[in-house]
Amino acid sequence: MTREFDLGDGLTVAVDQRDGAEPAVLVLHGGAGPRSVAGLAGLLPGDPTVLTPTHPGFDGQPRPSWFDGVADLAVAYLDLLDVLELDRVLVVGSSIGGWIAAEMATRDTRHRIGGVVLLNAVGIDPAQGELTDTRKLNPAQLGELAFVNPALRLDPSTLTDEQRAAALANQQTLAVYAGEPFMYDPKLRRRLRRVDAPALVVWGERDGIATVDYGRSYAQAFPKGRFVLAPEAGHFPHIEAAALTAASIDEFVRQEL
Q: How confident is the model at residue 59 (pLDDT cuts 50, 70, 90)?
A: very high
Q: How confident is the model at residue 129 (pLDDT cuts 50, 70, 90)?
A: very high
pLDDT-wise least confident of 10-14, 37-41, 73-77, 207-211: 37-41
- Do the beta carbons of residue 105 and residue 194 sit within 8 Å? no
Which residues, other chains included, contact 139 with Cβ-Cβ below 8 Å and sequence gap of 6+?
154, 156, 167
**Residue 195 CB burial class (10 angstroms; 0-12, 13-18, ≥19):** buried
Give the pairing type, strands 11-18 and 2-8: antiparallel
- Do the beta carbons of residue 249 and residue 130 sit within 8 Å? no
Q: How confident is the model at residue 49 (pLDDT cuts 50, 70, 90)?
A: very high
Whole-model pTM: value is: 0.97
Length of the chain as a residue count: 257
Please calculate the CA angle 171-31-175 and round it to the nearest 5 degrees: 45
Domains of the chain, with CATH numbers? Answer: 2-256 (3.40.50.1820)
Q: How confident is the model at residue 138 (pLDDT cuts 50, 70, 90)?
A: confident
- Do the beta carbons of residue 189 and residue 131 sit within 8 Å? no
Question: pLDDT over 90 for what percent of the chain?
Answer: 91
Long-range pairs, 239-248, Cβ under 8 A, ≥24: 239/36, 239/39, 239/147, 239/152, 240/147, 240/148, 240/149, 240/152, 240/204, 241/204, 242/39, 242/43, 244/202, 245/43, 245/119, 245/202, 246/43, 246/44, 246/45, 248/200, 248/202
| Residue 187 CA from chain centroid, whole number | 19
pLDDT per position as a tens digit, 163-209: 888 888 999 999 999 999 999 999 999 999 999 999 999 999 999 99
Rounded average pLDDT over 218-224: 98
